[in-house]
Structure 1
Amino acid sequence: MTVGLVWLGSALAMVALWAFAMRVRNVGYVDVGWAGLMALAALLVGVVGEGSPMSRGLVAMFGSVWGARLCLHLLHRVLNEEEDGRYRALRAEWNGSPAKFFAFFQLQAVVVALFALPFIAAADNGVYHLTGWTALAVLVWLGAMAGESLADRQLARFRADASNAGKTCRIGLWGWSRHPNYFFEWLHWFAYVCLAVGGDLFWLSLVGPVLMFAFLYRVSGIPWTEKQAERSRGEDYRRYQREVSAFFPWPPRKSSPSLE
């Protein structure tokens, strides 16, 4: 029932957002909408969940703060930059087809509903007192939020310097992972796994990290982003790919001289 409400509300919101995005010719608003709808989904689940007040309250706080921060961060980028190169490439491939973009926006509504499942699993837990798993959930959430926020700030500062145009960011976390923002976004979903431990719907909480890893690593995250980076930064980015881990933070390695 709850996941159906999340999907229906998201589908209606995405219709309006699709119409607006087509008018202003910026598909980047789909990401803003997805993050904002995830925040609202967490609040809804926190209200209608069947678990303890503590479980429902933590889900509402974790999901809404995470989603709202991401939503505002993406909105700032969309309002102040041209349409993301990934979506420009998609627009060219689809010849700007409004119908195809409508389906794309509606797919995001389905994704919102799928990612609401970990919220539901965690909010269903009936535990009324703090446990070690609760404490671990808070630590995971705080670490993920701090890491993702830091990565976003480091990249924003790098991109704000005109002298870095056409170059690849390697400062801070970006020297250890090509996508530290994605890594910490994935890590965030383990907070709900920890909150759901002991609950009847624990298995549903695993949808978050498993599905997010699949999307980020194999579907629309790293593959799309790296194709655009290769188009815009060429050999500089290909060397970055050889030297820096794609996802998990790890000390950088040096390219073989034969590859330079």
Structure 2
Amino acid sequence: MDNIPVWHLVIISLITCCVIMGLVWLWAHKIKNAGVVDIFWSYNFPVIAIILLLLAPGFGTRKTMICAMVIIAGFRLGTHLAIRIVSHIKEEEGRYQQLRKEWAPNAERRFFFFFQFQGISNVLLAIPFFVSAVNPAPGLSPFEYAGFALWFISVTGETIADRQLAAFKKDPVNKGKVCDTGLWHYSRHPNYFFEWLMWVSYFVFALGSPYGYLAVISPAIILYLLLKVTGIPATEAQSLRSKGEAFKKYQASTSVFVPWFKKG
């Protein structure tokens, strides 16, 4: 296994992620809730990390370090999403209800390809993991220490943001209100900000390996998706549909992304 080519690792990871997403699509089709894709999109990164931990030929300490980072972060986010989604498993989230309406009458078929694309995106975004895990050079570089420190900050920040939102929603007094406490007082999406920062940390970590600069693709794609595609636009559109004027006032007073800047 010491000489396994990186492209073999990519193919193994791609097949595994796509098979998982195919099975998840079958489940989603049965329960009529496409939102479960978010859970397994997060869990697929630890799956890739385990594959690399077992098969990649890189320096043991570096490989263990990057894989542990990915497993911890992916499992935390996936479990957080699972708790939230499973709690209302019979009610599909508004974002996916909207897609179901837009894609009718071929929604299920289009969801299948959507799920497969999510599996492919897992592998594309995993570039920093592949780059780091196949590097055989002994010892760790300053980039890898810096990447780990930034990762710790980002995971901690995202965990705090998620817990603050969950606590707000759990209180029945807040039903129908907009969460504007804690980090959410400054940013409408602190969880997304720290998620992006985590991908920046993986890029910084990868700079300690040959061709590490290629890993910039990952935070760049995540930033684009969050700001322009499936992240903030879809989430805010749903919030406007469900909370109306209250969310418009919240939009006017907060930063869209960065959690330490508040308007006014």
1:135 to 124, 145, 160: 145
Residues of 2 paired with 1:10 and 1:36: CA distance? 10
Letter in 1 for 2:174: N
Per-residue displacement from partner, 1:106-158 (whole Å, max 9, x unpaired)? 11011111111111112233442244322212211111111011000000000
Which residue of 1 is the match for residue 185 of structure 2? 175
SS at match of 1:178: coil
Q: Does 1:85 align with 2:94?
A: yes
The correspondence of residues 1-260 of structure 1 with structure 2, limited to 5 A, is 1=7, 2-81=9-88, 82-95=91-104, 97-254=107-264
Look up the match of 1:257.
Answer: none
CA deviation digits over 1:195-231, x for unaligned, max 9?
Answer: 2224222122112211110111111101110100110
Q: Distance in 2 between matches of 1:192 and 1:47?
A: 20
Normalised by the length of structure 1, the TM-score is 0.93
CA distance in 1, matches of 2:223, 2:165: 22
Where structure 1 has 5 or more consecutive residues not aligned to the other structure, the ranges are 255-260
The code of the aligned residue for 1:56 comes to K
Q: Calculate the TM-score normalised by the size of structure 2.
A: 0.91
- Partner of 1:189, secondary structure, is helix
**What secondary structure, in the 3-state scheme, does the structure 2 residue paired with 1:185 have?**
helix
Q: Deviations over 1:16-42 (max 9, x none)?
A: 110101111111110011111111112
Report the residue type matching 1:252 in the other structure: K
Q: What is the CA-CA distance between 1:250 and the residue it aligns to? A: 3.1
> Superposition RMSD on alpha carbons, in Å?
1.4
Task: Report the count of equivalent residues.
Answer: 254
- Contact 1:140/1:191 (8 A) holds in 2: yes
Moved more, 135-144 or 30-39: 135-144
Q: Could you list the runs of 5+ residues in structure 2 that have no partner in the other structure?
A: 1-6
Are the counterparts in 1 of residues 141 and 208 from structure 2 also a CA contact under 8 Å?
A: no
Contact 1:43–1:60 at 8 Å: present in 2 too?
Answer: yes
Give the whole-Å Cα distance in 1 for the aligned partners of 2:201 and 2:44. Answer: 19
CA drift at 1:166: 1.4
CA distance in 2, matches of 1:198, 1:63: 17
The alpha-carbon deviation at position 241 of structure 1 amounts to 1.1
